[in-house]
Structure 1
Amino acid sequence: MMNIKKCALHTAVMLACGLGTQLANAGATISFGEDKYISAGFGFISSYNSVEDASNGGKDRSNDFTLDSARLYLSGSFNKYIKGMLNTEKSGGGSANSNFEVIDANVQFQVTPEVAIWAGRFLSPSDRANMAGPYYSMGGGYWANIASRYGWNGGVIGRDDGVAVVSSFLEDHLAVSFGAFEGNQIFRFSGVGAQSQSSTTKDNLMYAGRVQYNFWDAEPGYYGTGNYFGAKDILSIGIAGRMKKDGAVAPAVSGVAGDYKSYSVDFLLEKKDVGPGTFSAEAAYYYYDTDNVFLGEQGKAYSAGLGYLFSEPVGWGKIMPIVRYQKFDADGVTSFDGSTSPATFTNNRGSNDTKRFEIGANYIIAPYNSVITATVGKTDTSATSSDNFVKVALQMQF
């Protein structure tokens, strides 16, 4: 007889991946017997944004409510060796072109306790910010899209179609993953769109890998998190890279193609019982190379964040002050206008920085499942353009 019960959705998702974790989302599971189940749930991130001089012809502050993200979660299990997941996401922000997309549709074969094979659509091995995503970062709805560019710009919200070997050793202290993927949407939101092959390039695969080592507590699981909110002591370093030969293809009219490469190093420290709470610090370095095809997507990037979670509850939850910084130092500016005939594609040399600084606080009602975040900050897109903003975000998962 089917047994319908309330459970932790993310735990179910992780179990569906053959992975254990303490993360929990409320959800529902239908059990068909030992190691046979279907789990379902949903989540969303909604925000209020006010940007200086962004309304009324640049004379007044803007005031906008936006549904930043909305996801449906499904996972299932045939037995302890074969699991799967299907997740969707509302794409496109608040634009008129918003639509739901399948972001995860994959199966995991647990070959040994240490080694699994993933196949389908899923997050290709990459930096911690991309593997954690906006729902599991240091704060509700945080997108590290300025520095961690692939998670926002590449694939389907960082996902790709392919296959990967996912492994962990030394009691989950050492994690190694490597895979081959389609990689045809590396610059999806950069104005170029999907990268179709030209008559002079081959249909090459994109290869991606990640190695991570945890010195203190272990981190089981492939899809990661950017903060444990006091549940663990973490000291971790990760190295990731991806490459695709002829992966940077300019519009056909230009006949230009180059190899795409990116590398990153990320660091996370989280320590419990530091005074009256938990201290956390994160940092990452990125290098992007497009063979000089897209100077606007080539260069170096940096990100850093600090947080302190007070252990004593205040009302429904706990307060966590945060400060974050991102910078992408591009090698130039790339412009593409497909509305003209013939299409125009230009690169201009010179530094083109994008920086964002924000400070604020999280109100953690339930880690990952119910978080309110309020920040003020500034985004600089060039020497003459900057936006002062106020943002309040609500993140919920059920």
Structure 2
Amino acid sequence: MKNFVRKAVIPSVVATSFLFPASANALAEFKINEESNVWISLLLQLRGEWIENGQADGSGWRSDFYIRRARILFGGTINRYVDFFVETDNPNMGKDVPIKDNDGNIIGYKSNNDTKTFIQDAWIRLKFAKEFNIVMGQILLPFSHNNATGATSLLGVEYNLTVVKFPPTSNFVWRDYGVEIMGLIPLPKGSLDYRMGIFDGVETLKNPDNGVWINKDDNYRFTGRVQYNLFDAEGFYYKGTYLGKKKIVSFGAGFDYQKDAAADDYEAPTKVDDYKAWTVDMFIDYPLSQGDVATFQIGYINYDYGNTGNPNDGDAIYMETGYLFNKKVGIGKIEPLLRYQSFNSSSSTGIDDTGLYVGVAYWIDGIRANIKAEYEFDGGDGKDQDVFTLQAQILF
């Protein structure tokens, strides 16, 4: 514990003191004419991690500083009917990767400086009416509230990554290529947010050794979501918190299906079946009378990989909550956080994984400038490691 305090807590306090001396500025926006504009923005998340028993010999606290996300966001409006969005990313640059000997034993670590910048989102939207839009391109899958949340506005340090078990060849960072219809339907009380799409999903593949095909007929992937908003509605990308700027109470459900897209092995399949998944979730982000904000989210996901025995077959649950105090402490506001996520595999080859996280967010200028810290308790996933994470974010 003394080594942890020396290697993690002290650098954390020092970093907090100088990373954000002033509020971040607004993004740059350029008006072309009365209907057209373009804008550009930058997301930068810098992260430090301290991993218990993480050194090469399995002892001590190993530290790791790296760039979690470095994104350029670019979008605009052509006219009242057409808008677009493109986003790049260069994730995990400098993150430690293990060095192994010929027997597979870890003998050291090195920073990964071979990461590449790539297109992560790219879509065009046709806005016929608030109730009906068509989106085409590389789109974040409309499935759960967790996976449809933008990385700029997460409540905690990270997504609930453990609970996302899409087929490994069916997505690129939870995105897929296709066409989606979406809209917001006003109701007597609240509104209904719907999103339904057809996507590439898992592509065709034949195992030459046994003649077994994955998705031989090139079937579409069907993914969709409906969400009932009791008060305010959310945008194209959901947020992990609105920091009191909206009153959100929502109940959602989603599905994900592709025929012949489940397999035991996506490189050399021997068993193939239909892939199915469904989810339900609730999200609350509620401003209180004194200016404080209470946030709570919970979701359940069921993954069905048929009779393939795929380790991702099973169910998952996630929960996160926070309470934002409106009174400033220094240059920002404090929000204690709690997260829990769990995946239970129904396959004999699967691994059950549970994570419990206690943390705090320090909102200096909302999502534009903040610092977050989380402590993850060992979840029984075989690693026997607690992890402390510190992250600084700017959105310019």
- Determine if the TM-score, normalized by the shorter chain, exceeds 0.5: yes
Residue 183 of structure 1 pairs with residue 197 of structure 2: no
| Equivalence map 1:166-205=2 (5 Å) | 166-170=182-186, 173-184=191-202, 196-198=204-206, 200=213, 201-205=216-220
Residue 160 of structure 1 pairs with residue 158 of structure 2: no
Q: In 2, distance between residues paired with 1:274 and 1:294?
A: 51
Q: Does the 8 A contact of 2:44 with 2:395 survive in 1?
A: yes
Q: Does the 8 A contact of 1:356 with 1:380 survive in 2?
A: yes
Q: Does the 8 A contact of 1:151 with 1:157 survive in 2?
A: no
SS at match of 1:269: strand
Q: Percent identity?
A: 25
SS at match of 2:329: coil
Residue 227 of structure 1 pairs with residue 241 of structure 2: yes
Structure 2 CA distance for partners of 1:25 and 1:268, relative to 1, 3 Å: farther
Q: In 1, distance between residues paired with 2:158 and 2:339?
A: 10
Q: Does the 8 A contact of 2:165 with 2:303 survive in 1?
A: no
Q: Deviations over 1:3-27 (max 9, x none)?
A: xxxxxxxxxxxxxxxxxxxxx9821
Partner amino acid, structure 1, of 2:343? F
Partner amino acid, structure 1, of 2:66? T
Q: Deviations over 1:81-132 (max 9, x none)?
A: 0111111111455345421221111110011232110001111211111111
SS at match of 1:129: coil
Q: Does the 8 A contact of 1:91 with 1:101 survive in 2?
A: no
Residue 310 of structure 1 pairs with residue 325 of structure 2: yes
Partner amino acid, structure 2, of 1:160? D
Q: In 2, distance between residues paired with 1:125 and 1:293?
A: 25
Query: In the alignment, what sits opposite 1:361?
Result: 360
| Equivalence map 1:68-79=2 (5 Å) | 68-79=68-79
Partner amino acid, structure 2, of 1:371? N
Q: In 2, distance between residues paired with 1:86 and 1:276?
A: 35
Residue 277 of structure 1 pairs with residue 317 of structure 2: no
Q: Does the 8 A contact of 2:310 with 2:350 survive in 1?
A: no
| Equivalence map 1:30-45=2 (5 Å) | 30-45=30-45
Q: TM-score, normalised by structure 1?
A: 0.81
Q: Does the 8 A contact of 2:373 with 2:391 survive in 1?
A: yes
Q: Does the 8 A contact of 2:83 with 2:125 survive in 1?
A: yes
| Equivalence map 1:75-86=2 (5 Å) | 75-86=75-86
Q: Does the 8 A contact of 1:127 with 1:148 survive in 2?
A: no
TM-aligned CA deviation for residue 286 of structure 1: 0.6
Q: Which runs of 5+ in 1 are unaligned?
A: 1-23, 185-194, 333-348
TM-aligned CA deviation for residue 295 of structure 1: 2.7
Q: Deviations over 1:349-376 (max 9, x none)?
A: 1763101111010001122211200111
Q: Deviations over 1:59-88 (max 9, x none)?
A: 111111021111111112210101111111
Q: In 2, distance between residues paired with 1:379 and 1:71?
A: 31
Match of 2:392 among 390, 394, 398: 394
Higher strand share: 1
Decide which moves more: 318-327 or 89-98.
89-98
Query: In the alignment, what sits opposite 2:134?
Result: 117
SS at match of 1:352: coil
Structure 2 CA distance for partners of 1:223 and 1:251, relative to 1, 3 Å: closer
When the two chains are superposed, the root-mean-square deviation of aligned CA atoms in Å is 2.3
Q: Which runs of 5+ in 2 are unaligned?
A: 1-23, 96-111
Q: TM-score, normalised by structure 2?
A: 0.82
Partner amino acid, structure 2, of 1:391? T
Q: Deviations over 1:112-170 (max 9, x none)?
A: 2321100011112111111113322213x412111134499961211111001011111
Q: In 2, distance between residues paired with 1:148 and 1:271?
A: 26
Q: In 1, distance between residues paired with 2:290 and 2:309?
A: 48
Residue 145 of structure 1 pairs with residue 144 of structure 2: no
Query: In the alignment, what sits opposite 2:383?
Result: 385
Q: Does the 8 A contact of 2:51 with 2:61 survive in 1?
A: yes
Length, aligned pairs only: 346
SS at match of 1:135: helix
Q: In 1, distance between residues paired with 2:169 and 2:357?
A: 21
Q: Does the 8 A contact of 1:378 with 1:386 survive in 2?
A: no
Structure 2 CA distance for partners of 1:124 and 1:57, relative to 1, 3 Å: same
